[in-house]
Structure 1
Amino acid sequence: MVGRQRLAVLATCNLDQWAMDFEGNLRRITRSIAEARRRGATYRVGPELEIPGYGCEDHFNEHDTVEHSWECIAELLRGGHTDGIVCDVGMPVMHRGVRYNCRVFLLNRRVLLIRPKLHLANDGNYRETRYFATWKRRRQWEEHTLPADVAAVTGQASCPFGDAVLAFRDTVLAAETCEELFTPQAPHIDLALAGVEIISNGSGSHHQLRKLNQRLDLMLNATAKSGGVYLYANQQGCDGGRLYFDGCACALVNGKLVAQGSQFSMKEVEVVTVTVDLDEVASYRGAVASLQEQASSAEPFPLIHVDFNLCCPPDAFCLPTPAREPFYHAPEEEIGRGPACWLWDYLRRSGASGFLLPLSGGADSSSVAAIVGCMCQMVCEAVAAGDEDVLADAVRVGQYGEGERPTDAAELANRLLCSVYMGTENSSQETQDRAAALAKQVGFHHLNVKIDSVVASMTSLFALITGRTPRFRVHGGSPAENLALQNIQARLRMVLAFLLAQLMPWVRGRSGFLLVLGSANVDEGLRGYLTKYDCSSADINPIGGISKADLRRFLRWCAVHLGYPALAEVEAAPPTAELEPLAANGAVAQTDEQDMGMTYEELGVYGRLRKISRCGPLSMFRALLGQWRDRYAPGEVAEKVKHFFKYYAINRHKATTLTPAYHAESYSPDDNRFDHRQFLYNFRWPWQFRAIDRLAAQAEAALQKPAGAAAVQLQRQHEAAAAGTRDAALHT
């Protein structure tokens, strides 16, 4: 009808998919389609690779994964789920012997188009080129032969495959996938110039502290420059690995956000619908002269014509969804909610009946305790809101009786977490009291255990074997003796933790087993400031990717916002391992920063320069000359950099045994997935350290001159290094 307003109801979603769980993934997909249809949507887009789950990794190399994905497509078509609604789903597809990461468009029991990904994510946590190829024939498509069971449902022998767009009766729609949003020459620019009005993005984007701002900024800027509707779908939850996919499905129109889903949620299926005015898109684009000029010369995309209206019928009353401001969680809340959701997914899918936490009363283990407390609060909130999925999981994992349900977070915490303080004669009363106070406030089942007899048994056994008795440094022992006596305490705590994890459910009259939680932060993993196979060796670690500085801010936030005031006292205490004898007055004689020879603040700087700015020893020294010029002399900076790299190299082997941890920080030293550096180094770094010493000597000499070309040149070097560091921080 000429002159009628073009309003369309569109749907995007967050789905809590699980790698290789085809049955569960298909169930969640069909639920999202049903909800989108119930709300009147004519188009629904889902996350990247949603059918098998994004995190299949080397399972993508198995043909079974592709075959089972097509079986799920056949079920969607056969079950009538695509009747009257365009369904855009993500899956791997083999085309002419090549595997592609694809979007598959379905409507009325037919396959409209298979659109392969043009740009793959292949850095950081992503290895897509290990499994997929990119589609290199831009603006071209060809026929793809459909599997027999799909062809039997659709009546099609083949369908279009390639870089094309869908031309409906009333609008044009196209897709890009995850990484393509981030690329410099993003597909959405050419699509918009070619007249595409609706662009969708099925994504698999993981949570990282402060990352959501970047994602939303890219989408806001894309639609502000080129106009149009942008729909973003994402996976949400832990799909079997270290990453937590943080959802935040959203819709944007002409540079404004109109809908935003949750970033952290325990919902398995969350659908976001919007009503958009496509005439506003045409008007917005027509008002920008430069856009008109570029669009008039843009190369067209091949069109796949679809005899279907995306817009509402003429007699339907619809109003466009109004714009709104983006919502961002504070980083402290991200630390609480992201790892809490990751822990919940891991707990409910692993078959475990709870967690066991060695709780020392220090900042790290107390942060883990607070995250578990946050998890229990979120579960109870979801149950109170009527989420039947969360209720069923909570009743099963918490082993509630018939008719019982979790209503109180502290009571749920008592069921799901057992904490244990494993003290020795080297432990202070203060840490013991802090651990007990925190456990009481959160609600844990708490144990207070003295392990001196076990430690004494081990040292007696050593003396029996060797005829020698090791002593602490304060008692005249050597550094080797001192370190060995510290490490045996830490390792015995790990042994006891796993014993308790296996048997505490039995002790309490329950079934199952507990997962042991680790509590080494990302800075300690980077420096190697942990004992190999000590109580940081656990099943999973929710803070292994979070810095000490962020954790301390998190503790202050938790004390107020989660209702755990004991955490304020924990945060104020100096970090200490309490593995050496106490002072005569009972005070702690050992602190972590003294042991490490560097502060946690400095560790964070080293980590970002090493990983994010890709600095070796010499380039790190150059950067810090500028960054720390008002704090340390060049010689001091040189010694600090050499000290860090010495112990980084000595302890790098410990990264191979780090507990699988929630990824939250881009300088994580995780050897298994993220940080592919060797673990055997020449810790003396002779060539690199000589270069540092030469440059430090030049800097010291230049700084001793009151004026002159050398001083001016050094000042310029400082300013350039400082600018480079600022640029790197802004890029991050």
Structure 2
Amino acid sequence: MKLALATVNQTPLDWTGNLQRIIAATDQAKQEGARLIFFPELCITGYGSEDLFLSYWYPAKALDQLQLLIPHSQGVTIAVGLPFRIQDKVYNTMALLENGALKGFVAKQFMAIDGVHYEFRWFTPWKANEQIEVDFFGAKIPFGDITFEKEGIHYGFEICEDAWRGKERPGYRLCDRNVDLIISPSASHFAMGKTLERKQLIEDSSKIFDCFYAYVNLLGNESGRMIFDGEALFAKSGKILYRNQLLSFQDYQVMTFDYKDEEQEIAEIHPKEWEFAQASALGLFDYLRKSKSKGFVLSLSGGADSSTIAVLVAEMVRRGLEELGLQAFCQKIGLNDWENYSANPEKLLVNELLTTAYQGTSNSSKDTLESAQSLAESLGAKFYHWTIDEEVSSYTSKIENALGRKLNWEKDDITLQNIQARARSPIIWMLANINNALLLATSNRSEGDVGYTTMDGDTSGSISPIAAVDKYFVLHWLRWAEENLNRPGLKKVNSLQPTAELRPSERRQTDEKDLMPYSLIVEIEKLAIRDRRSPMDIYWLLKEELDLNPEELKGYVKKFFQLWARNQWKRERLAPSFHLDQFNVDPKTWYRFPILSQGFSEELAQLEKA
């Protein structure tokens, strides 16, 4: 028997499109001879439907879509995910369709409630071994913890989080029922390196339960922040037999293989640097087309952050063209005159989709201007150059007249820095509005940690592509990209030391002088934010690991926590960002922290005495 794992790139409220993609994938699986076709969790509605799940009409409409899908199950078995409401409770279910009939619903037993997931807000967990009947347009249908059989193959489901619950997981009960196959339909967010964890889970599961084990994930930037990688895995007795390549630009992918064959196809597992580029490129592509925008606008400073984003947009074009081809790529983003780009597709499309501007001041250097211009030219992006000294002077003189005194760097340092960053925002927004484009904000996670970012300045934008990755990784990735992605325009960028260029040049401003080494910020934030450790714990752990003077280390830890607590209001206002790493600092998706607090004052006082 042939088995198909089908992943789809869905969008909340795109009822027609979501159903059409499921049907198209089903038709392809049929053509390839599949008899069992498994789709991901919540694929009818999209996982990112948020509080729409709480309404009465939304799960009801999902059932309408399921009814439209049933006729397409003639001759095959299809499993699809959708919400199901019973009175005041909503359940996350897989519906099993076979030969033109609905056979039953399997309900998820464990809810994901960590990191980016808040499933308990919407769904109720189902109890193990419990089965009921529900009404489906007048028919009584089995619902709950149930298994199925087809042509001698006995199979059951572990829906996403179910599979990650150790000894509590449903797989043990399925094993007791002697299933031959367990399927894990998932909506598992992408994070760099996560595929290795999944691979280990699937290998171990197939070995522990002595069965075939299949995994299929959603695909794409579904609803703005989370990216799904579309991973499909198939294993037996602790060995992976099939693995696809992640993060496709396709609307759907169908992976068909014989149920009991030995190893069939195993795609390469790429390093984190490749995953970052591929996930960001796909995230930008989906955000662009789903928002129905005409392109991107970027304030290109010549520094690391904006240069990273420029390269990611160029990678979006390069990778999209490689996978989809020119015509399909253009049509998906709304460029129907695709023939106009055929002479040099990559550069012409980057020029169409990415507009950049270097906005200098008297504190800007020739080096950063040359860095920005050479990078834009190498990528093919539109490049503008202007200065904002006149705007800065206008704002400054008005305040000076009102106060009756001149501003100076000794007394008004932060004010004089911030007005430069903020003065850049209105004009770059004008360019974005003129182009009907998305403005790309340039803040990274390290800056979000410590508030080293100007509100309504470099945080200003429609989307913030790198806000979930740290600056230390960004600097490393740029060096990797110059060589491995063949981006020679990064040579000047990689030769510069990161600096905001907001103070006069004689003050020799650098980011790390203002803050602390970026490598140290990473170590502190992992312990403080990811692992939720106290200032004292962090000090003792890093004291053993790092060759730093104890008083200097105390100062850095203290500075991090003080700046973190002081700047939560900034993190609340960051533009939407992609979740790309093990954790992020976006309070809407990963780490909530009070805007007002006492700022770790007692904890830091104890640290001083250590």
Q: Same fold (TM over 0.5)?
A: yes
The yes-or-no answer on 1:95 pairing with 2:86 is yes
CA distances 1:75-116 after superposition (whole Å, capped 9, x unpaired)? 112xx2100111100000123542100010011121111110
* Aligned counterpart in structure 2 of residue 423 of structure 1, from 348, 353, 360: 360
Q: 1: CA distance between counterparts of 2:118 and 2:583?
A: 18
> Identity rate of aligned residues, in percent?
31
Q: 2: CA distance between counterparts of 1:210 and 1:99?
A: 32
| TM-score relative to the length of structure 1 | 0.81
Work out whether residues 379 and 489 of structure 2, in 8 Å CA contact, stay in contact via their aligned partners in 1.
no
What count of residue pairs does the alignment treat as equivalent? 609
Deviation at 1:234, TM superposition (A): 1.0
Structure 1 segment 246-645 matched on structure 2, within 5 A: 246-277=229-260, 320=261, 322-325=263-266, 327-384=268-325, 389-394=328-333, 396=334, 398=335, 400=337, 408-472=345-409, 477-478=410-411, 481-503=412-434, 505=435, 513-583=436-506, 589-596=508-515, 598-628=516-546, 631-645=547-561
Q: 2: CA distance between counterparts of 1:178 and 1:237?
A: 17
* Aligned counterpart in structure 2 of residue 44 of structure 1, from 37, 45, 50: 37
User: What residue number does 1:117 align with?
Assistant: 108
The yes-or-no answer on 1:131 pairing with 2:122 is yes
User: What residue number does 1:316 align with?
Assistant: none
Q: 1: CA distance between counterparts of 2:443 and 2:340?
A: 39
Work out whether residues 366 and 570 of structure 1, in 8 Å CA contact, stay in contact via their aligned partners in 2.
yes
Deviation at 1:192, TM superposition (A): 2.7
SS at match of 1:647: helix
Partner letter of residue 181 of structure 1? A
Deviation at 1:15, TM superposition (A): 0.8
User: What residue number does 1:674 align with?
Assistant: 590
Work out whether residues 526 and 668 of structure 1, in 8 Å CA contact, stay in contact via their aligned partners in 2.
no
Work out whether residues 103 and 115 of structure 1, in 8 Å CA contact, stay in contact via their aligned partners in 2.
yes
Q: 1: CA distance between counterparts of 2:4 and 2:53?
A: 28
For structure 1, the 5+ residue unaligned runs are 1-7, 152-156, 278-319, 506-512, 697-732
User: What residue number does 1:716 align with?
Assistant: none
Q: 2: CA distance between counterparts of 1:540 and 1:129?
A: 27
Q: 1: CA distance between counterparts of 2:263 and 2:46?
A: 33
| CA distance 1:402–1:441, shift in 2 (3 Å) | closer
Work out whether residues 112 and 159 of structure 1, in 8 Å CA contact, stay in contact via their aligned partners in 2.
yes
Q: 1: CA distance between counterparts of 2:192 and 2:86?
A: 37
| CA distance 1:374–1:50, shift in 2 (3 Å) | same
Work out whether residues 414 and 445 of structure 1, in 8 Å CA contact, stay in contact via their aligned partners in 2.
yes
User: What residue number does 1:291 align with?
Assistant: none
Q: 1: CA distance between counterparts of 2:259 and 2:151?
A: 16
The yes-or-no answer on 1:163 pairing with 2:149 is no
Deviation at 1:131, TM superposition (A): 0.6
Deviation at 1:496, TM superposition (A): 1.4
User: What residue number does 1:11 align with?
Assistant: 4
| CA distance 1:599–1:373, shift in 2 (3 Å) | same
User: What residue number does 1:509 align with?
Assistant: none
Partner letter of residue 595 of structure 1? D
Work out whether residues 548 and 600 of structure 1, in 8 Å CA contact, stay in contact via their aligned partners in 2.
yes
Deviation at 1:686, TM superposition (A): 3.2
Partner letter of residue 176 of structure 1? E
* Aligned counterpart in structure 2 of residue 106 of structure 1, from 77, 80, 97: 97
Q: 1: CA distance between counterparts of 2:33 and 2:397?
A: 75
Partner letter of residue 616 of structure 1? S
Q: 2: CA distance between counterparts of 1:252 and 1:571?
A: 43
Cα RMSD between the aligned structures? Answer: 1.8
Partner letter of residue 128 of structure 1? E
Work out whether residues 332 and 550 of structure 1, in 8 Å CA contact, stay in contact via their aligned partners in 2.
no
Work out whether residues 115 and 583 of structure 2, in 8 Å CA contact, stay in contact via their aligned partners in 1.
no
Q: 2: CA distance between counterparts of 1:390 and 1:68?
A: 31
SS at match of 1:377: helix
Work out whether residues 2 and 36 of structure 2, in 8 Å CA contact, stay in contact via their aligned partners in 1.
yes
| TM-score relative to the length of structure 2 | 0.96
Deviation at 1:324, TM superposition (A): 5.0
Q: 1: CA distance between counterparts of 2:461 and 2:81?
A: 34
Q: 1: CA distance between counterparts of 2:13 and 2:484?
A: 37
Deviation at 1:25, TM superposition (A): 0.7
Deviation at 1:374, TM superposition (A): 0.3
CA distances 1:530-579 after superposition (whole Å, capped 9, x unpaired)? 11111322100111111112212211222123221121331232100000
Deviation at 1:194, TM superposition (A): 2.5
Q: 1: CA distance between counterparts of 2:291 and 2:601?
A: 47
Deviation at 1:389, TM superposition (A): 4.6
The yes-or-no answer on 1:75 pairing with 2:68 is yes
User: What residue number does 2:186 align with?
Assistant: 203
For structure 2, the 5+ residue unaligned runs are none
CA distances 1:21-48 after superposition (whole Å, capped 9, x unpaired)? 1111101111111111111111111111
Partner letter of residue 521 of structure 1? N
